[in-house]
Amino acid sequence: MRIGNTYLHHGLILAPMAGYTDRGMRMVAAECGAEYAVTEMVSAKAVVFGDKKTYTLARIMPDECPTALQIFGSEPDIMAKGANMLLEDAEKHGYMMPAAIDINMGCPVNKIFKNGEGSALMRDPELIYSIVRSVAVAVDIPVTVKLRRGIDAEHINAVECALAAQEGGAMAVAVHGRTRSQLYGGASDPNIIKAVKDALKIPVIANGDITDKKSAATLLEKTGADGIMVGRAAVGNPFIFKEIIAALEGKIYTPPTLDEKKHMAICQLRLSVSDRGEAVAIPEARKQIASYFKGFYGSAQLRAKINSMTKLDEVERAILEIKN
């Protein structure tokens, strides 16, 4: 699969997740085989109006795998200007240039939806076309889109929205098989992803209900998608990418040992702290670190302990105390 000049051998992508896919998570996912990642979503309007904190979310470091920068908003001119400003900032500070600008058209969160952003854009395919076109003209890197099955069961229009994005200049589309009203519950529908794949000429990436190698292979088979995007299943388990690669290559997968999980959790935590500092990174990382050790003796105590910890060395010691 190819997105612009970026070639993905297996088409394995780490999905964008607000509060999760910081540099730490992106780096450990890449170490485990993710070929491409997408940042947390960034408000184009906040960028245009000078919110300096927003730029932090958009930083992609030179040692990362190809990573798309995801933006959200609802005004074509603001989206275009914000995207351009973020690219100028990356060039100015020597960050890695994004592999693409990804436009969020799938976020189901009420605050975003009520503001006419995220999945709310799927109510208006013409607006989707305008936003994609405006951004594509403003930047000299690929533009991609992530959307959902539709707003709700009565409004399943992913094909129409994806076609609008393609016509506007998108070079790939990722489709989550749930509607906005489902949020993250219920079942993801692979049939809508297949319908989008059948309708488009550009690459289509399948997203939703990937939990292991079997579900990944099944989704690829049912949809014919060019790649797959793994989200929540990679939280505390970046090893899922190794598992999927082993299946695709017909190899035996050996699950990580407890020591390997400890090592990866500490690596992720250190990367996040080096990027954002302890005060920001540790509170955000708590839920991810705890996820690494579900089912292990002392995992519940670890979660309770780290919820009150604020220092890197404290959390590291707590991680090392986990036992089989």
Exposed/middle/buried for 104, CB within 10 Å: 0-12, 13-18, 19+?
A: buried
Q: Is 107 assigned a catalytic role?
A: yes
Q: Give the residue from 264, 270, 210, 284 showing the smallest Cα distance to 240.
A: 210
Half-sphere exposure of 46 (CA within 13 A, CB side): 13
- For residue 101, what are its two tokens? 């600008």
Exposed/middle/buried for 18, CB within 10 Å: 0-12, 13-18, 19+?
A: middle
CA 136 to chain centre: 20
Q: Are 143 and 132 a contacting pair, CB within 8 Å?
A: yes
d(CA 302, CA 288): 12
Q: Which listed residue (32, 65, 107, 161) is catalytic?
A: 107
- The set of residues, in sequence order, having a beta carbon less than 8 Å from that of 217 and lying 6+ positions away, is 244, 247, 248
Q: How many helices (H) and strands (E) does the chain have?
A: 14, 11
d(CA 127, CA 110): 20
Exposed/middle/buried for 123, CB within 10 Å: 0-12, 13-18, 19+?
A: middle
Which residues are known to be catalytic? 107
